[in-house]
Amino acid sequence: MKKIYLVSILFVIGLIGQSQHVFNKGGFALNGGIGLLSADGFIPSINVSGEFGIFPTGDVGLLSVGGIVAYKYSTYSFSHWDSNYNYNQFVIGPRVIWHLQTYNSSKWDAYAGAGVGLRLWSDYVFNNSLTDIEKKAKATPYGEAFVGGRIMLKPGLGLFAEVGYGTLSAIKFGITFMLK
C-alpha cells in the first residue's frame, strides 16, 4: 500500500514539474491572419507575425521577440472627377511579447506586447489645383501596443486574436502554428 502512495505522489510531482504552457522558452510561433477596423475604416489587412521565446520571467511569464509584416490596399472613388484612387500601406517591424504563465494550460496563451517599425504608404497630393493630383510614396515610423491570446485546437495548430493600436488594424485574428 505504501508503494502505491509513493508511486502516486511521484506521479503527481512529475505532472506538476512537467506542467506545460502553450509557449515556452525556445518555442516558435507563426501567426497568419486578417486585420479589421482602423482609422481609415473597416478595410481588411493581411498580417503575418512570428515570435521566439527567449527569456523566462520566473513563475509569471516568458518574454519572446519577433516581428510583424502587414499589408492593406484600399480605393477611394471621387464621383465629381470620375476617378478612382488607390492606397497601399505596408508595415514591417520587430515586436516584444510577454506571455502570462501564472496558470498551467496546454491550450490557452494570454500575452501583451509592444513594437516599433516602419510604415510605407502612398498618399495623393493636390498640386496648385484640385485637378492636378500626384501620388507620393511615404515612409514613417510607427509604434504599436497590443494584448492577445491564442487557443490551441491540437498540438501545433491553433487560433489567435489581438486587439491594440499601431499597425494597420486594431483587431487581428487568424491561425497560429507552433513550430516548437
With b meaning 16 or more CB within 10 Å and e meaning fewer, what string describes 160-176? bbbebebbbbbebbbeb
72 contacts 44 by C-beta, under 8 angstroms? yes
**Residue 158: all three cell numbers together:** 491553433
What is the domain-level CATH number for residue 11?
A: 2.40.160.20
Query: What total of structural domains would you count in the chain?
Result: 1
Residue 66 confidence (pLDDT): 96
Q: Please say whether the dihedral angle defined by the alpha carbons of residues 163, 166, 167 and 170, taken in this order, is positive or negative.
A: positive
Per-residue pLDDT of the chain (180 residues; tens, 9 = 90+): 445 444 333 333 333 333 466 777 888 999 999 999 887 777 899 999 999 999 988 878 899 999 999 999 887 766 666 666 778 899 999 999 999 888 778 789 999 999 999 999 887 776 766 666 777 889 999 999 999 999 999 999 999 999 999 878 999 999 999 987
Residues 6+ apart with CB under 8 A from 19: 104
Residue 13 confidence (pLDDT): 35
Rounded-to-integer distance, Cα 72 and Cα 60, Å: 36
Q: With 0-12 CB in 10 A as exposed, 13-18 as middle and 19+ as buried, what is 142?
A: middle
pTM for this prediction? 0.78
| Start-to-end CA span in the chain (Å) | 40
Q: With 0-12 CB in 10 A as exposed, 13-18 as middle and 19+ as buried, what is 115?
A: buried
Residue 31 confidence (pLDDT): 96
* Residue matched to cell numbers 491594440: 164
Residue 154's domain comprises 2-178
